[in-house]
Amino acid sequence: MSTLVSLDITDGIARVCMRRPEARNALSRDLITQLRSTIEALQSRADVRVVILEGDGKSFCAGMDLKAVATDPVAMGDMLRALAETSLAIRKLPIPTIAKVQGAAIGGGCGLMVVCDFGVTHPEAKVGYPEVDLGICPAVVAPWLVKKIGAGPARAMLLLGGTMSGAEGYAKGIASHCVPLDQLESATMALATGLAKGGPLAIRETKRWLSVLDGSNDDAAIREAAEISARIIQGGEAQERLAKLWRS
């Protein structure tokens, strides 16, 4: 299996990079499996103070690579379960997490940004949850969005589908920082460097209580969401819409 996720640790800052630039880092089964294991391996690394999640090339992440498993709805369900587990692993990290988002963060890719503590993007980026346009149910990413921006705004965003600019995503609270594209790296590193100066025990406690208070520890709800999404994606409506999309 080729390396689809790289890990670099320098001065306590771990950079987890999705490396499928030719597919805008769409989440293939292999990529998401590697992402999950890379993140899980960071749980016990005492030398890591901050995690930056990023994507190689022009885009952060174009979402689930469903086309690759077009004839295999069961595989689609497995990928949704893997996305759910990956999001849980990111949320459970006892250190701050930053998504560095250039280009696109769509669907599951937007979900990865939102589950991180911080999302740094640029005004022209394309972000959002167009799942319902494809007949797919964004159940796995929904809880993280609700926790970030509140139930009312999340309801409108998920039901309306489509995408929005990075500037709009920032205004709606799904990204925490929005800077010009040429400052994306420096702004991300400035944030990471500042966060890395925090006392690890103190940060761990803060993150623990944030998750207790916002209900992030409800693993069962996320796993149930994956089953809901898996059921919908295996259904006729989703399969019909996806087939039509891929023919076009």
Partner 1 sequence: MDRLISHEVLDDGALHRITLRDDTRRNALSQAMFDDLDAALAAVTTAVARRQAASCVLLSATGRAFCSGFDLGACVADPSMMGSFLQRLSAAVRCLRSLPCPVVAAVQGPALAGGCALVTACDVVIAGPAARFAYPVHRIGLSPAISLPTLRGHTGGGARTVALEPEPLDAAAARAQGLVHEIVDDPTALDARALAVSRQLLSKGPQAMASIKRWMNAHDGSCDLAALDATLAASVATGSSDESSAMLAATWAAMQKPR
Does 214 participate in binding partner 1 (rule CB under 8 A)?
yes
Does 159 participate in binding partner 1 (rule CB under 8 A)?
no
CB hemisphere CA count around 83 (13 angstroms): 35
Compute the least distance from the CB of residue 56 to partner 1, in Å.
Answer: 26
Contacts with partner 1 in 108-137 (CB under 8 A)?
Answer: 117-118
- Any idea which residue has 């640029």 for tokens? 122
Compute the least distance from the CB of residue 170 to partner 1, in Å.
Answer: 9
Compute the least distance from the CB of residue 150 to partner 1, in Å.
Answer: 5
Contacts with partner 1 in 161-200 (CB under 8 A)?
Answer: 171, 173, 176, 191, 194-195, 197-200
| Number of residues written out for the chain | 248
Does 14 participate in binding partner 1 (rule CB under 8 A)?
no
Closer to partner 1 by CB, 152 or 236: give it: 152
Does 143 participate in binding partner 1 (rule CB under 8 A)?
no
* Residues ≥6 apart with Cβ < 8 Å to 74: 234
Compute the least distance from the CB of residue 40 to partner 1, in Å.
Answer: 21
Contact residue for partner 1 among 6, 206, 217, 239 (CB under 8 A): 206
How many residues bind partner 1 (CB under 8 A)? The answer is 29
Does 46 participate in binding partner 1 (rule CB under 8 A)?
no
- Per the CB < 8 A criterion, the answer to whether 96 and 50 are in contact is yes
Q: How many angstroms separate the CA atoms of 186 and 65, rounded?
A: 30
- Supply 82's token pair: 């893997």
Residues that bind partner 1 (CB under 8 A): 96, 117-118, 146-150, 171, 173, 176, 191, 194-195, 197-203, 205-210, 213-214
